[in-house]
Amino acid sequence: MNAKSMMWLVAALWIAAPGSARAVDLELELTAGGTAPLTEVLRKAEAGAGLGLQFTWGATSFLDIGARYGLGIFPQQAVDAQGAEQEPILDHSVSAVVRLALVGGDAGWLGDPGTMPGELWLDVGLGYHMIGRENCFGFDAALGYRFDVIDGLALGPLFRANAAFGTSQGTASWMTFGLTIGYDLGVLLDDGAAGGVVASTGP
């Protein structure tokens, strides 16, 4: 499916969604956790750290689209000619993201609202990676669970499989596992709009 077809699909889903589901839904999410190399391309690297910053918009009650910046840090076991440890391998990535709420939440794809506490979700990302000194394209898929702590604030665990294709040594792949903390910016916008309405109808 090309980019134009994807845009038409998202538009059709948005139009088909109930009016109440099309309220402002903008979320900023931070991910922090660990990384574990999987392939021989990263054979000299050790488990490290992973960070991510993601911004999404709710196209429907169960489908979000957005963008994510990711940083993977892989300490190396190898040493240079002088015997000093080499610097960690860094992976910087910028990806387009599609997230699907599977079960729970306001309206999960596979179940009615309130089917389970919290929300089980799946997302996929496709984007550009700068790993080490090489530039390539990559793909990732994640499964996670989240629950609301307070109105607008949610957190939970996730597991993400990552792959960067076309490096000089082949495909680099690794796992990311950690904790996500997300804040629904739409809560602020909705509160501001409600305050404006109250002010405009006051004496």
Is the residue at 11 inside a domain?
A: no
Is the residue at 183 inside a domain?
A: yes
Is the residue at 74 inside a domain?
A: yes
pLDDT score of 193 more than 70: no
pLDDT above 70 covers a percentage of the chain that reads 69
Cα–Cα distance for residue pair 141/27, rounded to 1 Å? 19
pLDDT digits (tens, 9 = 90+) for 19-69: 444 455 899 999 999 999 988 777 778 889 999 999 999 888 889 999 999
Global confidence as pTM: 0.74
Cα–Cα distance for residue pair 30/177, rounded to 1 Å? 13
Closest CA to 152 of 103, 203, 202, 187: 187
Q: Which domain holds residue 125?
A: 23-198
Q: Are 125 and 95 in contact (CB under 8 A)?
A: yes
What is the number of domains present in the chain? 1
Is the residue at 70 inside a domain?
A: yes
Is the residue at 36 inside a domain?
A: yes
* CATH number of the domain bearing residue 106: 2.40.160.20
Is the residue at 9 inside a domain?
A: no
Q: Categorize the per-residue pLDDT at 118 as very low, low, confident or very high, splitting at 50, 70 and 90.
A: confident
Cα–Cα distance for residue pair 107/17, rounded to 1 Å? 11
Amino acid at 75: P
Q: Categorize the per-residue pLDDT at 17 as very low, low, confident or very high, splitting at 50, 70 and 90.
A: very low
Res 66: pLDDT: 97
Q: Are 73 and 93 in contact (CB under 8 A)?
A: no
User: Taking the chain, what is the end-to-end CA distance rounded to the nearest angstrom?
Assistant: 55
Is the residue at 105 inside a domain?
A: yes
Is the residue at 82 inside a domain?
A: yes
